Chain A
């Protein structure tokens, strides 16, 4: 197969807007107090729609994307990591958090100015450290009220009323706690709005990812990172839901016109776990071979909410609104929200790598993949859990696998030259030449 350009390609029109939305998010957080609003911090997976009931001036800082933003700035990241280590925290802890904690310790916000202290912490817990991250944040900031919801009730295929009840009961407690902590009255209408936005944005993101089943793929993963990030910042916000509508239209258009992400596509791969954020250039290196990553369970399933479609394929989950369900009160909103989140693909593998392998094989089939690159990510236990079993399972299913070690947020643990070397060898086994 030749490595010549055979598809037309064009830059993404939405790109600039995604960038603007992201910067606005970080700016809004920094300026919230000036505007009389409230700031909270928590994970990208948390039930972010819930604090929205406190008012439209309540904004968040999600820690993982913030840690990734720091990782992208290698000089600052190194200072952050060292500050955290000096304080006695182990080097093998989550590297997003080590960046984030370092930024607090140095009192420097990566987007400029001093670090903006949150008013409260709002988190969920599925890996064995999620809630504990914020114990540290609270320690470092001299005490911040902290609420966390346990979502580890088992895989969605075994969902049962008592599991949803457990989440919903904690959410109700959480709302009471929010009122007490902030002294504000909670507004259920704002909650319902935010929950609906989140259903819309997370379903839409899945729809966008599904369009990448097309050959040639309209998007490649490095670009997707800049788009999916909005779903890790503000998935419950109208701006994100609206943006994904616009993006879906554009990607659909690209498919209709045969516009490819790379002109020489001939080897379709997927990655796994967060990429080494300081070294996204490896994705460009791959393109020299005509290889691209069309996504991953990570980019598809961390933000996107999916379901089995009648034809047996994987597609965006139908929102309660599209099912004609009218959301009338707090309890109903929370119940639907809990069920929705429990079906998040990226939450399933916590219980068993075999569930994840099945999902990966499904992606490999439906997205027409030639191979898989597994990032053995030393920066994240949560997504690397069971990764060696995934490797075995994929090989057993007949997919060539390249494994490489690295770290999403600690550049000291990523050896760019060696990873490129591994990639060369992988391409050699697939008979791909530059």
Chain B
């Protein structure tokens, strides 16, 4: 890996292995704990509730491989990500799942869930009508009721109660994970971040695949190592990446091999996943509902105000961003509608942007040409 010159490899090996060998991990976890595993399709799923029930929630992501099995199920005008996810189910790559669940967000990923439900039978499936109007004060009370229904369904399936105490503990473990992630990400604010964007992505992606207790332990170890990690890798241009679902490690690596470092992101496979905590609440479900309603939103829920705009600008300021790559899964409507406004806001704040459309595989060479031109432009800005 040419991009990692000057960085030791083993620091992030645990996380990388978890991501790459996610199926192996899940199967071993199951054997080890005797617990059930539920695959989820969107980060609006309140994982705390599943975790409290002794279930391991794992995110269903694609494989970035060409496939020919989804055309009978999803019309090609929907995003490549949702097709890639469904393909994993149809090909039996998630045969260790006991159930699947989705929280309502965009129409695209919803189809992976509804087709999976029918064609890859699992024991348990649940569609959580996560409210869209998260800026309304009525969203939380509504979601509390929906969480009660979800909890009852889980209890019925498992044949046992999910105790408040267990929820409290799950919330603690999840919050702990978020705090640790925050601390790792804060290190990227420094002049010479001790980790690359690729490494940061490995950390977040793996956190969506493994038991948070184990992830927490690994994060604590990581923080210790990062404090001592010395690097002669030049940071280069400080970039931000934002947009729709993105676990394209290869792309991140390519960009960071061109004299740049990603210092922050706004992705559901990045900061949006862990940015907000569950605040203490005597009613556990209310605390959880509050967290998911008030988290940094997916654009499909970001209305009538576009709250992501000030959030992204604040991130750019805090992390001293010089340029932003705005990426998007092909056909992702919620992002497409926000892109002109978001780009304008970034440009007005003096941050130049490069827009790229992603597919299951990206034309890495062609994108490299564009990225190099973009970086050259930013570096020239620096000179004058």
Contact = CB atoms under 8 A, between A and B. Distances in A.
Direct contact of A and B (CB under 8 A): yes
Interface of A: 87-90, 92-94, 125, 127-129, 131-136, 139, 146-150, 152-154, 160, 162-163, 165-166, 169-170, 173, 350-354, 376, 378, 381-382, 384-389, 391-392
A153 B303 contact: no
A131 B107 CA distance: 14
Interface stretch (B72-80, B183-191, B192-200, B281-289): B72-80
A89 B73 CA distance: 28
Max count, chain B CB within 10 A of own CB: residue among A131, A165, A376? A131
A388 B137 CA distance: 37
A139 B146 CA distance: 34
A97 B366 CA distance: 32
Interface string B126-169: 01010111001111011001100000000000000000000000
Given A135-B303, A354-B114, A388-B72, A89 B129 contact: no
B273 to A, nearest CB: 19
A129 B127 CA distance: 20
A295 to B, nearest CB: 22
A166 B142 contact: yes
5 contacts: A90-B339, A133-B337, A152-B104, A173-B138, A389-B114
B340 A129 contact: no
Contact of B75 (A135, A352, A376): A376
B300 interface: yes
A5 B10 CA distance: 80
B333 A153 contact: no
Interface of B: 71-75, 77-78, 104-108, 110-111, 114-115, 117-118, 127, 129, 131-133, 136-139, 141-142, 145-146, 299-300, 302-304, 306, 331, 333-334, 336-341, 343
Contact of B333 (A93, A131, A354): A93
Nearest to B331: A92
A146 B107 contact: no
A131 B304 contact: yes
User: Which 3 A/B pairs are nearest by Cβ-Cβ distance?
Assistant: A150-B133, A131-B303, A162-B145
Given A93-B337, A166-B142, A354-B118, 8 more contacts: A92-B77, A92-B331, A129-B333, A139-B340, A388-B72, A388-B74, A389-B111, A391-B72
A376 B139 CA distance: 34
B131 to A, nearest CB: 6
Contacts of B334: 128-129, 132
B142 A388 contact: no
B129 A132 contact: no
Contact of A132 (B77, B78, B110, B338): B338
A375 to B, nearest CB: 11
A132 B117 CA distance: 29
Contact of B107 (A134, A170, A385): A385
Contacts of A133: 337
A92 B306 CA distance: 21
A351 B114 CA distance: 8
Contact of B77 (A169, A353, A381): A381
Contact of A135 (B110, B145, B341): B341
A132 B303 contact: yes
B131 A388 contact: no
Max count, chain A CB within 10 A of own CB: residue among B110, B111, B133, B340? B133
B142 A389 contact: no
Max count, chain B CB within 10 A of own CB: residue among A93, A146, A154, A389? A389
B337 A388 contact: no
B307 to A, nearest CB: 12
Max count, chain A CB within 10 A of own CB: residue among B145, B306, B334, B339? B145
A385 B111 contact: yes
Contacts of A152: 104, 129, 131-132
B304 A135 contact: yes
Max count, chain A CB within 10 A of own CB: residue among B74, B77, B141, B338? B77
A381 B333 contact: yes
B153 to A, nearest CB: 11
B341 A392 contact: no
B131 A128 contact: no
A125 B132 contact: yes
A163 B131 CA distance: 10
B104 to A, nearest CB: 6
A166 B140 CA distance: 10
A352 B77 contact: no
Given A93-B336, A166-B142, A88 B111 contact: no
Given A89-B340, A90-B336, A127-B107, A173 B132 contact: no
A135 B337 contact: yes
B304 A146 contact: yes
A175 B295 CA distance: 27
A153 B130 CA distance: 8
A150 B131 contact: yes
Contacts of B75: 376, 384, 387-388
Given A93-B336, A150-B136, A386 B111 contact: yes
A217 to B, nearest CB: 29
Contacts of A147: 304
Contact of B132 (A136, A150, A160, A376): A150
B304 to A, nearest CB: 5
A388 B73 contact: yes
B73 to A, nearest CB: 5
B114 A136 contact: no
A387 B76 CA distance: 11
Given A135-B306, A388-B74, A389-B114, A125 B107 contact: no
Nearest to B73: A388
Nearest to A139: B341
Nearest to B306: A135
Max count, chain B CB within 10 A of own CB: residue among A125, A163, A378? A125
A134 B337 CA distance: 10
